[in-house]
């Protein structure tokens, strides 16, 4: 097999795996959008906040330590203990549920029935607020996150492909783990929404608010639930990206990468978010590989957005989104 082709295969595989990470972020958007019609601009910041909280808890950092020290003149920074990753993740999930509840009680509940643009504006405000709170709580320096996920080149894949193609693929262990976890997460979500009472109620609310009320579903409860699940998805995305490139402000910008994914997959479709993520992941890696050298590289920065733009022009509802039918 020619080396070029083997190389292209490696690029495709890597693309698929980074696509999984895009899909994870996009999934958080879809969940909230489906259930409440809110485009949650803060999803990326939620991932940042979740990752920072996780690191903070693991390192035994005192939350708001800068604020406390400045106000009381003390010098506390650490509790002096380290929390194991597994326990820290559970605690972070609890924090994300609390955050979901606060968002619902303090913000969204007062905006029921408002125009979508107003809800969107509220989430922009929420994003900046949350960004500030994360900094204030845990400090703004770059942190490394290590919950014990394997990293580095996967030797088994390299050896196997070397035997086959005479060329060893470079596949990062972290990407493989991310793919497996994302697959588990998505199947878990599907099972939850298909077979549990709360899942059924969630789908019901996503479909029709009035009808949901008439069968005794509390919209408030479901929205807290949905924001909690979105917070959990944000945490998973935050762990993956944070492990890969450190926990820092730029983590919140992964939300921008999710936008083209949503344009492709449609805002209301979970399979759409996954397929959209994979297409963007593979597309931008292959495009960079094939076309990049001709135009001087760095196509990864804009490829996804141009693709999204084309979709907006020719298929605005995305691949799996609900068809937009205007009845006159």
Partner 1 sequence: MLDDSDSYVTEDGRTIGGVVMEMQNITLRFGGVVAISDISFDIREGEIRAIIGPNGAGKSSMLNVISGFYVPQEGRVMYRGQPRPQMRPYEVARQGIARTFQNIALFEGMSVLDNVMTGRLNHMKASVFQQALWRGKAEAEETENREAVEKIIDFLEIQHIRKTPVSRLPYGLKKRVELARALAAEPSLLLLDEPMAGMNVEEKEDMSRFILDVNDEFGTTIALIEHDMGVVMDLSDRVVVMDYGRKIGDGTPDEVRNNQDVIDAYLGVSHD
The residues that touch partner 1, with contacts defined as CB under 8 A, are 192, 195-198, 200-201, 203-204, 206-208, 210-219
Give the nearest distance from C-beta 204 to partner 1 in angstroms.
Answer: 5
Report the residue number, 20 or 217, with the smaller CB distance to partner 1.
Answer: 217
Give the nearest distance from C-beta 46 to partner 1 in angstroms.
Answer: 22
199: its two tokens? 């899942």
Report the residue number, 51 or 206, with the smaller CB distance to partner 1.
Answer: 206
How far the first Cα of the chain sits from its last, in Å, is 58
Give the nearest distance from C-beta 201 to partner 1 in angstroms.
Answer: 6
- Backbone phi, psi, residue 61, to 5°: -70, 145
Report the residue number, 215 or 324, with the smaller CB distance to partner 1.
Answer: 215
Give the nearest distance from C-beta 186 to partner 1 in angstroms.
Answer: 16
Pair 43, 24: CB distance under 8 Å: no
Report the residue number, 215 or 313, with the smaller CB distance to partner 1.
Answer: 215
Report the residue number, 217 or 251, with the smaller CB distance to partner 1.
Answer: 217
Give the nearest distance from C-beta 212 to partner 1 in angstroms.
Answer: 8
């Amino acid at each position: 097999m020619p080396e070029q082709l083997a190389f292209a295969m490696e690029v495709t595989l890597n693309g698929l795996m980074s696509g999984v990470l895009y899909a994870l972020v996009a999934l958080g958007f879809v969940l909230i959008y489906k259930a409440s019609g809110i485009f949650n601009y803060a999803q990326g910041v939620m991932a940042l906040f979740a990752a920072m909280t996780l690191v903070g808890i693991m390192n035994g950092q005192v939350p708001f330590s800068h604020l406390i020290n400045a106000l009381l003149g003390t010098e506390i920074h650490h509790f002096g203990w380290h929390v194991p990753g597994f326990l820290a993740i559970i605690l972070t999930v609890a924090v994300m549920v609390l955050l979901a509840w606060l968002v619902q009680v303090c913000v969204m509940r007062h905006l029921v029935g408002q125009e979508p643009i107003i809800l969107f504006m509220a989430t922009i405000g929420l994003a900046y607020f949350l960004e500030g709170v994360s900094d204030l709580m845990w400090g703004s320096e770059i942190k490394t996150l290590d919950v014990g996920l394997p990293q580095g080149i996967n030797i088994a894949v390299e050896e196997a492909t070397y035997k086959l193609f005479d060329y060893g693929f470079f596949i990062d262990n972290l990407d493989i783990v991310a793919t497996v976890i994302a697959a588990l997460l998505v199947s878990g979500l599907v099972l939850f929404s298909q077979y549990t009472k709360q899942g059924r109620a969630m789908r019901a609310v996503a479909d029709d608010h009035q009808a949901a009320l008439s069968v005794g579903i509390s919209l408030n409860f479901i929205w807290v639930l949905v924001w909690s699940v979105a917070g959990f998805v944000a945490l998973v995305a935050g762990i993956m990206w944070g492990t890969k490139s450190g926990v820092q402000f730029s983590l919140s910008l992964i939300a921008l990468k999710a936008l083209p994914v949503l344009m492709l997959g449609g805002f209301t479709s979970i399979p759409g978010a996954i397929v959209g993520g994979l297409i963007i992941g593979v597309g931008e890696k292959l495009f960079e590989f094939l076309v990049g050298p001709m135009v001087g590289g760095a196509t990864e920065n804009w490829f996804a957005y141009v693709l999204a733009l084309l979709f907006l022009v020719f298929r605005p509802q995305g691949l799996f989104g609900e068809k937009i039918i205007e009845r006159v």
